[in-house]
Amino acid sequence: MITNAYFDKHIYKIDEVIVKPFEASKPLIFHNPNCGTSRNTLAIMKASGEQPDIVEYLKTPPTRDYLVELLTKMAIPPRELLRSKEPICKELGLDNASVSDDQLIDAMIAHPILINRPIVVTDKGAALCRPSERVFDLLNTPVSSFTKEDGEVIHYGQP
């Protein structure tokens, strides 16, 4: 399991420039073991032969810089990563369209439950894997089919 030491080790300054080596050889998943989509995504990765580093992001949230880098790598705005179903989202007024990207990021850092999951990072890119089959495109050797926890069978590369 990843701890804060992971982020300390992987985010550092060289001549005041933040460096984050996202091109690591080992896949990474920001995971919530209580989430079925997250469990399915992790299971697909393992069935495909991957042994990812697992970040239980509610216990070990990313730093602000790392979250910004994830958003950049995924090419999505913060609002797309916001878990708007959480009661705290409405309590903080984050459902208001006038809330800035910086305010959303700050809220996600202060309340990691607001970060949607699972997020997967591999040498092929990064994505919010909702639905879980989105992870197939990030894997080097994805399985051709997989049965989710609910019994649904998904196939990779087939219509």
> Using one digit for the tens of pLDDT, what is the confidence trace for 80-116?
999 999 999 999 999 999 999 999 999 999 999 999 9
35 tagged catalytic: yes
| Helix, strand, coil percentages, rounded to 5, for the chain | 35, 20, 45
Closest by CA to 66, choosing from 33, 38, 28, is 28
pLDDT score for 12: 36
The answer, yes or no, to whether residue 159 has pLDDT greater than 90, is no
Q: Please report where in the chains the tokens 């202060």 appear, as a residue.
A: 110
Show Cβ contacts of residue 57 under 8 Å, excluding neighbours closer than 6 positions. Answer: 30, 31, 32, 112, 115, 117, 119
Distance CA 5, CA 1 (A): 11
pLDDT score for 22: 52
The pTM score is 0.84
pLDDT band at 32 (very low <50, low <70, confident <90, very high): very high
* 48-69 tens-digit pLDDT: 999 999 999 999 998 999 999 9
Mean pLDDT, range 1-12, rounded to an integer:
45
pLDDT band at 11 (very low <50, low <70, confident <90, very high): very low
| List 10, 11, 22, 35, catalytic entry | 35
Structure tokens at 84: 């708007």
In whole angstroms, how far apart are CA 105 and each of 9, 48, 99, 152?
22, 32, 10, 34
Q: Is 1 buried (19+), middle (13-18) or exposed (0-12) by CB count in 10 A?
A: exposed
Please report the domains of the chain, with CATH numbers, ordered by start residue.
26-57+117-140 (3.40.30.10)
Q: Which residue has the higher pLDDT, 19 or 70?
A: 70
CB 118 within 8 A of CB 37: yes
* 100-156 tens-digit pLDDT: 999 999 999 999 999 999 999 999 999 999 999 999 999 999 999 999 999 999 999
